[in-house]
Amino acid sequence: MTVAPAAKAARRPRPLSLTVRVALLLSAVAVATFLAVGAYLYQTLASQMAERDDIELIGKVAQIRRILAELPSPQAIVQNPRPLTEALFGHDDFMLSVKGADGASLLRTSLTSRPLPQVERVPPRRALTLADVHDWTPAMGTGRMVSAVGLVGADGQPVQITLARERSDRLRIMRDYAVDLFVALCVGATLAALLGYAIVRHSMRRLRSVIGKANAINTSRLNTRLSVADAPVELREMGQAFNAMLDRLEDGVQRLSGFAADLAHDLRTPVNTLMMETQVALSRPRTVQEYQALLASNSEEYERLARMIENTLFLARVDNAQLGLRREAVDLRAELQRIHDYFEILADDVGVRLMVDAPPLRAEVDPVLLQRAVGNLVSNAIRHTPAGGEVGLSARATANGVELAVSNTGPGIAAEHLPHIFDRYYRADPARSDHAHSAGLGLSIVRAIMELHGGKIRVDSMPGASTVFYLSFEKTQNI
């Protein structure tokens, strides 16, 4: 089953807006940061609390040891356990067991219901350290305990002291703390997302104004430009690129409308001539000879029109990149000789000498387009060379390719015209140009052909003396 493109497009999820993306990203960063900081704080608090508890535990054992030292005998513990139980006053979670050297129980606080495990006992007279505190598993949760030998009375009778503590209250505190951290994390991430959304939306205002301006631009309002001076750096670059694009578009549209105007103007002249001649001829009866003369004259105009249309089409195809280049290894000397032979009769007619000066040279070019380019230059040269002058065709190898030159003696081209002669419909001296043969397209076609080849065209002209057009082709890999 085939799916219609519209249906496919409808099914594709819409990409998230930049604002939402930044907001989500900010909130993800906030979650990661809160998680890392929260875990660190939780860990620090847990270890600090455990250490404080252990210090308290060994402090209590030291205190119990001191109390025991002041008692006359182990039996005194049984008779009066108060000094020891008072030492644990306020610490309901502490469990104390004191046993005599023979293992008989001398004291057990009420909570000590389960037998405490045997752990290594700290010998008498050695002070307790944190390393003496061990883990212990009560009925619920976890616990810590320490076991030491205490000495009773002046004669130092040993008794076993075991002090343990449940940590369930501590675990509860830590659990509450973790819940608080989690709530803070959720609130923080939400706040970061909302703030991010608001900030990005605010910053996007500039972008929206750019979009507004872009929407207002059409071919008749191409002179609008974005003001980039006070824009943020990121938008400034975009604005500059946008303005540069508008410059190019404006230039292109101007040239296009100029081109259309010139084309219309140049087509109008021959069409008007044809119209007038035909109307005059039809105004009264004519002889066959007169009709023949009219048709012969019209035929010339038709030829000119046809050539103009063909040239304009050629340029349009080059512009639209529809013209393919067919490169071949071409013998340049033979090619120039062929052009020479083609134009020789025309040159002879106007008293111009046509010469070829080229060594054997090969280049990878499109032979048809090359003929057209050089042909246009030679036809211009012959037209602008006074009788008795010379037109030269030459070729030479250069450092990175080949260069063809078409030179002619004659009045040359004035400096002010040089920058324009390659423009479409430009004629240096329209008044003097032979209108029937000149449309001002020849050189723009030569330039277009050179651009297609990746080559260059340039001109040197000495007014009153000579003009030389150079076509340089860069070496292609397979020359």
Ligand X SMILES: Nc1ncnc2c1ncn2[C@@H]1O[C@H](COP(=O)(O)OP(=O)(O)OP(=O)(O)O)[C@@H](O)[C@H]1O
- Length, in residues, of the chain: 479
Q: Site for ligand X (CB under 6 A): which residue of 413, 448, 450, 471? A: 413
Report if residue 391 touches ligand X, rule: CB under 6 A: no
**Single-letter amino acid, residue 7:** A
Tokens of 382: 């012959």
Helix (H) or strand (E) segment spanning residue 459: strand 456-462
Distance between CA 46 and CA 40 in Å, rounded?
Answer: 10
Report if residue 433 touches ligand X, rule: CB under 6 A: yes
Please choose which of ligand X, Mg ion, none residue 433 contacts, taking the beta carbon within 5 to 8 angstroms, the exact cut-off set by kind: ligand X
Tokens of 10: 């409808």
Site for ligand X in 124-163 (CB under 6 A): none
Nearer to ligand X, 200 or 441 (CB): 441
> 141: Cβ–Cβ under 8 A, 6 or more apart, which residues?
166, 167, 168, 171
Distance between CA 146 and CA 61 in Å, rounded?
Answer: 8
Tell me the closest approach of the beta carbon of residue 346 to ligand X, in angstroms: 14
Please choose which of ligand X, Mg ion, none residue 439 contacts, taking the beta carbon within 5 to 8 angstroms, the exact cut-off set by kind: ligand X
CA 153 to chain CA centroid, Å, is 86
Distance between CA 164 and CA 111 in Å, rounded?
Answer: 10
Tell me the closest approach of the beta carbon of residue 368 to ligand X, in angstroms: 18
Single out the segment in contact with ligand X by CB under 6 A; choices: 63-71, 225-233, 359-367, 427-435.
427-435
How big is the site for ligand X, counted in residues (CB under 6 A)?
Answer: 22
Single out the segment in contact with ligand X by CB under 6 A; choices: 34-42, 172-180, 295-303, 430-438.
430-438
Report if residue 470 touches ligand X, rule: CB under 6 A: no
Nearer to ligand X, 270 or 442 (CB): 442
In the shown chain, the binding pattern of residues 434 to 453 toward Mg ion, with x for contact by CB under 5 A and - for none, equals --------x-----------
Report if residue 428 touches ligand X, rule: CB under 6 A: yes
Site for Mg ion in 35-54 (CB under 5 A): none
Tell me the closest approach of the beta carbon of residue 380 to ligand X, in angstroms: 3
For residue 263, the tally of other CB atoms under 10 A from its CB is 17
Q: Site for Mg ion (CB under 5 A): which residue of 162, 371, 380, 467? A: 380
CA 158-164-170 angle, 5° bins? 155
DSSP H helical segments within 1-159, as ranges? Answer: 5-11, 18-70, 75-79, 82-87
Report if residue 374 touches ligand X, rule: CB under 6 A: no
Report if residue 421 touches ligand X, rule: CB under 6 A: yes
Checking DSSP bridges between strand 105-108 and strand 94-99, what pairing results, if any? antiparallel
Give one word for 55, left, alpha or beta, with left for phi > 0 and alpha for psi -120 to 50.
alpha
CA distances from 414 to 22, 79, 111, 208 (A): 62, 133, 117, 51
Nearer to ligand X, 51 or 429 (CB): 429
Contact positions toward Mg ion, by CB under 5 A?
380, 442
Contact positions toward ligand X, by CB under 6 A?
376, 380-381, 384, 408, 410, 413, 421, 426-429, 433, 437-444, 467
